[in-house]
Amino acid sequence: MAMAAKPPLGWNSWNTFSHDINETLIKEAADAMVESGLKDAGYEYIVIDDCWSCRQRDENGRLVADPEKFPNGMKALADYIHSKGLKFGMYSCVGTRTCADYPGSFDYEFVDAETFAEWGVDYLKYDYCFKPRSADGPTLYRRMAMALRNSGRDILLSACNWGNDNTVDWIRSTGAHMYRSTGDIVDSWQSIKDIAVSQMEKQKFAGPYCFNDMDMLIVGMYGKSHNSWIARGGCTTEEYKTHFSLWAMMNSPLMIGCDIRSMNDDTKAILMNRDILAINQDVEARTPTVLKEWSEGADTAVTMFKPLENGDYAIGFFNFCDGDNGTHIQFSDMGLPTRGYGLQLYDLWEQKDLGVHTCKYSAALPAHGCLMVRAKVVKL
């Protein structure tokens, strides 16, 4: 079955828990995914990242789940996750070891794909550490893609080579369903901004069945991570809103990274805003047009728009400045005739009608803030 027709939605253990994972936590995350309403909003994958296995393979060369962290094994955990109507994701690596020094899948691709299929895995994040220098990255992703596609189970391949070796040029051809093309996100505004700005030119390579993964969300972390390198003090709610809006607008998979067992109301409102999710999940996944307002090299504001399947347009206004800032869009840049037509605008965060406008719309934005609207073409 074809997978990733739309950007995948889910939760991943890494941003908050890193090495500190176990069966109870993953089950509680699955419970929270359902009870909080995230599942109803469309999130479906529960993904265990690095640090789940024993340090060595068994005598048959198979990967083994750490018996202390996962005493009932991965099959039982997969069954539990499936019983909640969710899908189960795991992690391995192109190289000889994973980034945190557990066994990688190099030269074991088909054996590991078989193991994952037996356990009931639906998604594999596939990292890029410890790649033998003589091995070719694209070939190694092709190999795992082939192994998964022939494992007897639908397993989504989530590549993670951080944009190295010009990922965008070859990743779609390997069979991967999504791919990281940035280094790791950390819980700070600077990281949100750096990733968003670095990915604007790469959007044209992403689309259905192979999306550009801008990395797992930091929404709702507020500086809480078991990994001090990721923690970094956290962000404000306003900044998390802008982060979520950018990732949604840019068709990124949305893999939640906070502790979903204890989200505050702001976090829930961000992650479950159906109107913003609809922009991300639009079936056509059009590349947004980016209009930058850079002044003398300094990042100021960006406006993005993209056509949606039903004839509407999504427009995002983003303020990258450290102070309040205005930005605007001229509708003729979107294709609107200068006479006879206007745009009816609806604010997707405030959930309020902004009226019909002709020619242009100007948005006043707080520092690091955004405005997300859905626009409908109207005849005047």
Per-residue mark of binding to ligand GAL, 270-289 (x: CB under 6 A): --------------------
Say how far apart CA 185 and CA 74 lie, in whole Å.
Answer: 28
- Per-residue CA distances from 107 to 75, 128, 287 (Å): 23, 14, 36
What pairs with residue 53 in β-bridges?
65
180's enclosing H/E stretch is strand 178-180
Q: Which of 23, 44, 50, 114 binds ligand GAL (CB under 6 A)?
A: 50
Say how far apart CA 280 and CA 120 lie, in whole Å.
Answer: 28
- Regarding 184 and contact with ligand GAL (CB under 6 A), the answer is yes
- Please report, as residue ranges, which positions from 67 to 96 form the binding site for ligand GAL (by CB under 6 A): none
- Regarding 23 and contact with ligand GAL (CB under 6 A), the answer is no
Chain residue at closest Cβ approach to ligand GAL? 99
For tokens 């809480």, what's the residue?
224
- Regarding 127 and contact with ligand GAL (CB under 6 A), the answer is yes
Q: Which is nearer to ligand GAL, 183 or 366 (CB)?
A: 183
- Regarding 28 and contact with ligand GAL (CB under 6 A), the answer is no
Could you tell me if 360 and 298 are in contact, meaning their C-beta atoms sit under 8 angstroms apart?
no
Question: Taking the complex as a whole, how short is the minimal distance between the CB of residue 100 and ligand GAL, in angstroms?
Answer: 4
- Regarding 100 and contact with ligand GAL (CB under 6 A), the answer is yes
- Regarding 154 and contact with ligand GAL (CB under 6 A), the answer is no
Question: Taking the complex as a whole, how short is the minimal distance between the CB of residue 113 and ligand GAL, in angstroms?
Answer: 19
Question: Taking the complex as a whole, how short is the minimal distance between the CB of residue 18 and ligand GAL, in angstroms?
Answer: 7
Catalytic residue check, 49: no
Catalytic pick among 127, 187, 213, 215:
127
Cα dihedral 56/57/63/66 (nearest 10): -40
Taking the CB of residue 340, how many other CB atoms lie within 10 A of it? 9
Question: Taking the complex as a whole, how short is the minimal distance between the CB of residue 183 and ligand GAL, in angstroms?
Answer: 7
Catalytic residue check, 184: yes
- Regarding 102 and contact with ligand GAL (CB under 6 A), the answer is no
- Regarding 65 and contact with ligand GAL (CB under 6 A), the answer is no
Question: Taking the complex as a whole, how short is the minimal distance between the CB of residue 354 and ligand GAL, in angstroms?
Answer: 38
Question: Taking the complex as a whole, how short is the minimal distance between the CB of residue 102 and ligand GAL, in angstroms?
Answer: 9
Selection from 198, 196, 189, 197 nearest residue 218 by Cα: 189
- Regarding 213 and contact with ligand GAL (CB under 6 A), the answer is no
Catalytic pick among 31, 154, 184, 266:
184
- Regarding 171 and contact with ligand GAL (CB under 6 A), the answer is no
Question: Taking the complex as a whole, how short is the minimal distance between the CB of residue 266 and ligand GAL, in angstroms?
Answer: 25
Length of the chain: 380
Range list of β-strands (E), 298-380: 298-307, 313-319, 325-330, 341-347, 352-357, 360-365, 370-379
Q: Which of 11, 14, 119, 222 binds ligand GAL (CB under 6 A)?
A: 14
How many helices (H) and strands (E) are present in the chain, helices listed first?
13, 16
Could you tell me if 354 and 346 are in contact, meaning their C-beta atoms sit under 8 angstroms apart?
yes
- Regarding 99 and contact with ligand GAL (CB under 6 A), the answer is yes
Cα dihedral 173/177/178/181 (nearest 10): -20
Selection from 28, 37, 27, 13 nearest residue 271 by Cα: 37
Q: Which of 46, 144, 160, 235 binds ligand GAL (CB under 6 A)?
A: 160
Q: Which of 23, 49, 109, 187 binds ligand GAL (CB under 6 A)?
A: 49
> What sign does the CA torsion over 55, 60, 63, 67 have?
negative
Binding positions for ligand GAL, rule: CB under 6 A: 14, 49-50, 99-100, 127, 129, 160, 184
- The catalytic site residues sit at 127, 184
